[in-house]
């Protein structure tokens, strides 16, 4: 069996809801095994303890570990987008139903997980001397990225 990294996300009872939401949002994604909490373990017996899922082929596990830990901006998932329509779709879905917009393409979903919804051309633009400063000045004023304004700043 090849070595595989699985990202484990700690939830307070919402692991299945979060997994189903994320799977509905990203292509090449699917739900996996849902393991119920056994008797004698912390949590509610029979309710999901772990939820396995894949997003764009990347393995994740949602763990209903309780209220002891919450997400912070120290960990985020970056979603490179080729078009403004893609940026809009991910951004709008992630901030819906209690999510929060943030600065410079960052947002939080309703589960508190941080995301960066960024133009896929950003790394290339930021590596160009002379353009990086202009692009940075443009996006530092943005919440959701405006691809046309970023491209105009780079031109």
- Give the mean pLDDT of 110-131: 95
Indicate the domain borders of the chain: 7-64, 76-154
Six token digits for residue 60: 């994740």
Which tens digits make up the pLDDT trace of 4-61? 899 999 999 999 999 999 999 999 999 999 999 999 887 889 999 999 999 999 999 9
Give the position of tokens 């009872």: 13
Q: In the structure encoding, which two tokens stand for residue 124, read together?
A: 């290339």
What does R_g of the chain's alpha carbons equal in angstroms?
18
Please tell me the predicted confidence (pLDDT) of residue 44: 86
Q: Specify whether the CB–CB gap between 61 and 9 falls below 8 A.
A: yes
Quote the DSSP letter at residue 67: T
Contact predicate 48/36, CB 8 Å:
yes
What is the pTM (predicted TM-score) of this model?
0.93
* C-beta of residue 19 within 8 angstroms of C-beta of residue 53: yes
Class of domain 76-154: alpha beta
Task: Give percent above pLDDT 70 in the chain.
Answer: 98
- Calculate the average pLDDT of the chain: 95
Of 152, 106, 103, nearest to 131 by C-alpha is 152
CATH class of the structural domain 7-64? alpha beta
Alpha-carbon gap, residue 113 to 135, rounded angstroms: 26
């Amino acid at each position: 069996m090849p070595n595989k990294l699985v990202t484990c996300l700690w939830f307070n009872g919402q692991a299945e809801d979060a997994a189903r939401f994320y799977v509905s949002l990203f292509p090449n994604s699917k739900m996996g095994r849902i393991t119920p909490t056994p008797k004698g373990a912390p949590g509610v017996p029979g309710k999901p303890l772990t939820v396995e899922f894949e997003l764009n082929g990347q393995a994740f596990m949602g763990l209903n570990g309780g209220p002891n830990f919450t997400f912070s901006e120290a960990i985020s998932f970056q979603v490179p987008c080729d078009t403004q329509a893609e940026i809009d779709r991910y951004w709008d879905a992630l901030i819906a139903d209690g999510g929060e917009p943030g600065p410079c393409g960052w947002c939080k979903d309703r589960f508190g997980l941080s995301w960066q919804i960024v133009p896929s051309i950003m790394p290339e633009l930021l590596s160009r001397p002379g353009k990086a400063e202009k692009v940075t000045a443009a996006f530092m004023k943005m919440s959701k990225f405006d691809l046309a304004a970023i491209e105009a700043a780079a031109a």
